[in-house]
């Protein structure tokens, strides 16, 4: 009986508070190695019929004596409820350009990277992590697609805790999840609308934090 009660409380704590149809803009600061290195702006448009469109613009520059790093991307995603239907992404990493597109078919998604195509499962979650994956993947394996590279992988999505996170000048209740089994294990915090508030991961021995600063 006690175990059932704990499970019921956990499920209740993850209930999403729906947003009305409309457009929301979210601005994020990107910190690398403890220093501000860039920013990301995402614009999300929701429709009454369950369709969502997300456009992200990302710019990052990390100075280095021998190997400075520069990354920029424009990513567009179309969703129908919790199913990805289309992706268009253009990115440049240290001068190398990559063009990715993806389109859902009946039982798969066809991904094209610089003109080379292949099929992946229709259930993919995108590695921008701007929205929480569907409940059926919580504490389970989840297929993931990197929209800027076209790479796909399988991670484990684990719920950690309900925690407070700062957004602007206010503290908000957030859901802390962790994605493991991928090249850079990642911690994620989502708000009550299941949208990204904070992301943390370590790559090349540098900790990267993506933090929501404000939204409108």
pTM of the model: 0.91
Q: Distance between CA atoms of 74 and 150, rounded to whole angstroms?
A: 14
Q: Distance between CA atoms of 42 and 37, rounded to whole angstroms?
A: 17
| Region of residue 31 (left: phi > 0; alpha: psi -120 to 50; beta: else) | beta
Mean pLDDT value of segment 80-104: 97
Q: Is the pLDDT of residue 88 over 60?
A: yes
Q: Distance between CA atoms of 124 and 142, rounded to whole angstroms?
A: 7
pLDDT at 110 (0 to 100): 98
- 153-177 pLDDT tens trace: 999 999 999 999 998 889 999 999 9
- Cβ atoms 208, 143 nearer than 8 A: no
- 176-203 pLDDT tens trace: 999 999 999 999 999 999 999 999 999 9
pLDDT at 207 (0 to 100): 96
Mean pLDDT value of segment 125-137: 97
Q: Distance between CA atoms of 3 and 22, rounded to whole angstroms?
A: 40
C-alpha distances out from residue 34 to 65, 124, 210, Å: 17, 31, 11
Strand, helix or coil for residue 206: strand
Mean of all residue pLDDT scores within the chain = 92
Structural domains of the chain, ranges and CATH numbers in brackets: 2-215 (2.40.360)
């Amino acid at each position: 009986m006690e175990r059932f009660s704990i499970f019921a409380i956990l499920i209740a704590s993850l209930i999403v508070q729906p947003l009305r149809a409309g457009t929301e803009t979210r601005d994020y600061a990107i910190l690398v190695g403890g220093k501000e290195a860039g920013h990301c702006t995402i614009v999300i448009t929701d429709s009454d019929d369950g369709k969502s469109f997300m456009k992200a613009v990302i710019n990052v520059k990390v100075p280095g004596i021998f190997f400075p790093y520069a990354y920029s991307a424009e990513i567009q995603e179309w969703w129908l409820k919790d199913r990805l239907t289309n992706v268009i992404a253009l990115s440049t990493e240290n001068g190398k350009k990559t063009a990715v597109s993806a389109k859902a078919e009946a039982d798969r998604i066809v991904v094209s990277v610089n003109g080379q195509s292949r099929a992946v499962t229709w259930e993919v979650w995108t590695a921008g992590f701007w929205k929480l994956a569907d409940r059926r993947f919580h504490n389970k394996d989840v297929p993931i697609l990197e929209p800027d590279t076209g790479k796909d992988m399988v991670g484990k999505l684990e719920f950690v805790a309900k925690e407070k996170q700062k957004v602007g000048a206010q503290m908000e209740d957030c859901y802390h999840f962790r994605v493991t089994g991928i090249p850079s294990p990642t911690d994620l915090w989502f708000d009550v609308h299941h949208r990204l508030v904070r992301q943390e991961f370590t790559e090349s021995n540098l900790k990267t934090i993506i933090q929501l600063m404000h939204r409108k």
